[in-house]
Amino acid sequence: MSFKERMNNAANKAALTQAKTDLAFERTKLSNLGDVVTNTHSFTALVGRKGENLAVMLPLNYEDSNDFLLGFSDQVSGELAKYSPQEGNMAGFLVYELTKKMPGRFPSNLKFDFKNLKFDIEFLRIDTELDQYIPSRRGGGYGRGVNRPMATEVYMPEVKKGFEFEARYDNGTSGYHLIALSRSEGGNRQFFPGFGIPFEVQYAKGRQITTHVTCAPKNVAKGAYAGTYFTSQVKKIASDLGLKHHDVLKFRVEKPGEVYRITDFSR
């Protein structure tokens, strides 16, 4: 075998060895991705007191604008809906003050699915009073049952009559009933009017409810572009239509910002 042939063989063997190494690395990445999809992702959130209420502090920055994180925080808010959570900022982190008391002890964890991934939030109870981080109602905050000022400009959706979109019905084991809205780019929150502004939802043979978008920080004025779901009278829709958890509802705009119709749903 000539020197040139030996050099070519050596180069080919080296290339093959490197190729095997590279492919093994790529396989590891695929395997790790499989673990991401199939494993349950666990993390800890803090639970402390805010006056007479509990407050849940999540490991999420209050100013996060990442679509995934916005959607994730909306999902957590929906899972806590029966406690009427009010969004707030605690030392830069996202906090939900639970303004509605429920019988029994607050759960030690919260399990749910989001984007086809499984999550398990462990709630770590601490003795710290959280008032020093969350603005007190006495200090000018706006809590549940307190009239909020009207926004200078009331948000109204820029959609036309006949526009159609989808929204998810949520009804976990805790018994809440709500239509979840996404604030991420292109999300369905933009198709409804501002926080606290009433609108009508028609469905089935002439039936209808009047509801409004809720769950916003205490310093948000009525009519502002805020809120993550609507829940008032949604139980009636769910009962009449026989909805189940995570059914997808198709909405049609009858009068932008004022009247909507549920035309169909799927599961």
The closest alpha carbon to 39, from 113, 117, 122, 110, belongs to 117
Residues 171 and 78 in one domain: no
**pLDDT per residue over 196-225, tens digit each?**
899 999 998 889 999 999 888 777 888 999
Whole-angstrom Cα Rg for the chain: 24
CA 252 – CA 254 distance, rounded (Å): 6
Residues 172 and 87 in one domain: no
Read off the pTM.
0.54
Residues 170 and 237 in one domain: yes
Please count the helices (runs of H) and the strands (runs of E) in the chain: 3, 13
Q: Is the residue at 90 inside a domain? A: yes
Residues 88 and 181 in one domain: no
Q: How many domains does the chain have?
A: 2
CB atoms under 10 Å from CB of 245, counted, come to 13
Residues 205 and 249 in one domain: yes
| 199: CATH | 2.40.330.10
Residues 123 and 169 in one domain: no
Residues 170 and 243 in one domain: yes
Q: Decide if pLDDT at 145 tops 60.
A: no
Which pLDDT score, from 0 to 100, does residue 223 have? 92
**pLDDT per residue over 220-262, tens digit each?**
888 999 988 998 889 899 999 999 988 999 999 999 999 999 9
Residues 121 and 181 in one domain: no
Q: Is the residue at 1 inside a domain? A: no
Residues 63 and 125 in one domain: yes
Domain that holds residue 205: 164-266
Task: Give the distance between the most distant pair of CA atoms in the chain.
Answer: 92
Q: Is the residue at 144 inside a domain? A: no
CA 231 – CA 209 distance, rounded (Å): 11
User: CB neighbours of 37 closer than 8 A, spacing ≥ 6?
Assistant: 116, 117
